[in-house]
Amino acid sequence: MQWLNILVGAALLLLGRRLFWLFVGCVGFIAGVEIAGYVFHGQPGWVIALIALAVGLVGAVASIFLQRLLVVVAGFLAGGYCVFTLASATLNAKHEVVLLIAYVVGGLLGAVLSGALLDPALIVLSSLVGATAVSQNVSLDEPAKTVLFIGLLILGIMVQGGQYARRTEPRRDQRTE
């Protein structure tokens, strides 16, 4: 399951904003893994992966038809996942209530950001989720994971920001001279 999370994280780092349906599908998959792992604790890994895959596919297909709404939903899931992971790692929080509050607060922040600033929010959120998914699934000590997370976050924002800038830059024949 770790390699799958790393692969999904890498896809989000590099293509999250460009392929919106991929962003929604990957965030749905990651959220599905977290939620199914909690709800169906003790079940085989393939059951959790199948549930997560179904959630991701539903999200990806729905994103084609309901883009604006799913930007907010994906923003909620992405923000919730990042703050939940941050709270459980840095605060060493093991209480379910604290983690639930962290998820909801992060989710609300992610939903508001993604709804208000569509493209920049998608770049930041997909880079955050991608960097989190990769760094949390490698076998490194905590300081090394933190450095990896920061490096991947910067890489993801730079790559996707560059793609976005090239896409929005007027073509040479459209520029006024």
Backbone dihedral angles phi then psi of residue 138, each to the nearest 5 degrees: -110, 150
Band (107; pLDDT cuts 50, 70, 90): very high
pLDDT tens per residue, range 113-168: 888 887 887 888 889 888 988 998 898 888 899 899 999 999 999 998 888 787 76
CB atoms within 10 A of CB 50: 14
Whole-number Å distance between alpha carbons of 133 and 137: 6
Structure tokens at 148: 């990896």
Band (174; pLDDT cuts 50, 70, 90): low
Structure tokens at 49: 């992966």
pTM metric for this prediction: 0.63
Residue type (1 letter), 167 = R
- When pLDDT is averaged across residues 58-86 and rounded to a whole number, the result is 82
Q: Would you state the torsion angle of the CA atoms of residues 54, 58, 61, 62, taken in this order, to the nearest 10 degrees?
A: -170
- Please report how the helices 2-15 and 118-135 are oriented relative to each other, as an axis angle in degrees rounded to 10: 150
